[in-house]
Amino acid sequence: MTVTKAQVSRSDITRLSVDAIVNAANNSLLGGGGVDGAIHRAAGPELLEACRVLGGCATGDAKLTPGFNLPAGYVIHTVGPVWQGGAADESRLLAACYQRCLQLADQYQLQSLAFPAISTGVYGFPKAAACRIAVDTVTAWQGRPLQVTFCCFDTRTYELYRAALAS
């Protein structure tokens, strides 16, 4: 996808009216804390049932479900790497998350997609490095046009994404 528009928003990803939001999930896909828990709560119990039949998800991969009670039509669940100091292939795995989500968006002919800051919460990936990987991976993607929103929960992350998009 050639990203026709990449923007940053400081907002609640569960309230965005886009074709799909990305869930920073754990390997089970059965809910958790942070953005994962918020998406499961907002989507309703049907999301958990849809995730149960997916059989989990490997780190760096992604799977798609309906959005159920969310304004977004779909949820793309991706599992980012847990930060282990940088020597455990974390950067490649994080980039793979973004690439796989973009592939699914292309496969399902989506036009708009919102990403949280994958792996930067309890998984501990340094925010500045994760932001750079996200922006570089998304802006380098080739294919159909897509509107991408980097949705940030806090001001620091929002500023990091703004700076990365401006450079």
DSSP 8-state symbol, 80 = P
Degrees to nearest 5, angle at CA 54 with 53 and 60: 165
Would residue 36 show up in a list of annotated catalytic residues for this protein? Answer: yes
Catalytic residue among 19, 36, 61, 89: 36
User: Where do the DSSP E strands lie in the chain?
Assistant: 3-10, 20-24, 62-66, 74-78, 112-115, 146-152
Query: Which one, of 58, 87, 63, lies nearest residue 75 by Cα?
Result: 63
Looking up tokens 């796989």 gives: 100
Q: How far apart are CA 90 and CA 84, in angstroms?
A: 8
Catalytic residues: 36
